[in-house]
Structure 1
């Protein structure tokens, strides 16, 4: 094919997509522009188009590879991979630890953790942390992410209907837990935030709802 043929816009878009694929935690518009040698306004337009078509996903000011790429490749998206950049943005937004909780072996297991960028006292969850399913926001919301089951705690139906739950001091003294179910995935899961500040817990409710919407379903 002669050099003059082809689409420069398409080639630039593919270059942006390749760059995003190298950074699972996502990149800002400025970082993509610098890496691809493009003007920031051009990069912004390309990213908007990639998000609109599902080839990229936006979380806060960061962009990552979207589900359409995996669909084209015939690869199902992994929940943890999709959730990680969303949780990172959530932790930055509310200045509290955010995590993904999955139902594993009868426990609420922490499988992704995002810490806020600022220093200071806070509750932190380590990867692999296991909590009961019938207490604490994360476990209750994870159970609520799926259809009703015989013998599930009565509170789960309330969480399923409300779409979010806030608890206080159920697992850790003084800790507020705020969580929302992540629906539509093969595993029961929830986005969970833990904080000692009542004001942060209140702010986190709508922020978590938005995070769950961004994660979506496969």
Structure 2
């Protein structure tokens, strides 16, 4: 008799189903809807939906405004290749920026509906800092990092109105949108497989304006994947 549950089979049926969805997405770079994935894999639509929500939340699947899913940026990061990952490219740039501004600098990536801090650079200072932990999750539609990350990609129907203005200016400054008393300065990083941005957080209002050219310079230094081909 074929084992019917995870403990008896020594594996995870949920994991296997999730991987099956990823394999199917890899066969269709143009994307598939939940119903199409359900039909292709033979999973009930509710099961496919739950798995896709988790894959999207963790970055293993991407979803466009029409509801079509494609392979997400987390898969690209696992595969590696001749082009360095965004995090690898951004880390030394962020450390230089943090030292120059004496403020916390970070890389923010859009993962599902959250702005996730994936790289953090703290300055060598004993003064008061807004500390951001790697893995911190903030709303995408509030705060400099999330808004700039949204602006790094093409326009979307449901995005906040000010995102287009950020695309045009190349940066955004916010105050107390995520953390009370914090000034955020962020610049989009277009062209990468994930929507992302450089983000600087400070309690000094004067630094917010002075930081803009430095943040833009750092974003230009990170550039796009094509700038880092081996």
TM class, shorter-length: 0.5 to 0.7
Give the superposed CA RMSD: 1.2
Aligned length in residues: 146
The runs of 5 or more residues in structure 1 that have no matched partner are 1-72
* Aligned match for 1:213, one of 197, 220, 229: 220
Q: How far, CA to CA, are the matches of 1:119 and 1:89 in structure 2? A: 17
* Aligned match for 1:154, one of 139, 149, 161: 161
Q: How far, CA to CA, are the matches of 2:98 and 2:207 in structure 1? A: 11
TM-score by length of structure 1 reads: 0.66
- Is 1:180 aligned with 2:190? no
* Aligned match for 1:193, one of 190, 197, 200: 200
TM-score by length of structure 2 reads: 0.62
* Aligned match for 1:106, one of 88, 102, 113: 113
Q: How far, CA to CA, are the matches of 2:134 and 2:177 in structure 1? A: 20
Give 4+ residue runs of structure 1 displaced > 2 Å after superposition: none
CA deviation after TM superposition for structure 1 residue 116, in Å: 0.4
CA deviation after TM superposition for structure 1 residue 211, in Å: 0.1
Q: Deviations over 1:104-134 (max 9, x none)?
A: 0210000000000111111010000000011
Q: How far, CA to CA, are the matches of 1:204 and 1:187 in structure 2? A: 24
Secondary structure, counterpart of 2:109 in structure 1: strand
CA deviation after TM superposition for structure 1 residue 75, in Å: 1.5
- Is 1:131 aligned with 2:138? yes
Q: Deviations over 1:53-80 (max 9, x none)?
A: xxxxxxxxxxxxxxxxxxxx95121000
Equivalent residue, structure 1, for 2:95 = 88
Q: How far, CA to CA, are the matches of 1:151 and 1:105 in structure 2? A: 14
Alignment of 1:39-78 (within 5 A): 75-78=82-85
Secondary structure, counterpart of 1:193 in structure 2: strand
The runs of 5 or more residues in structure 2 that have no matched partner are 1-79, 226-230
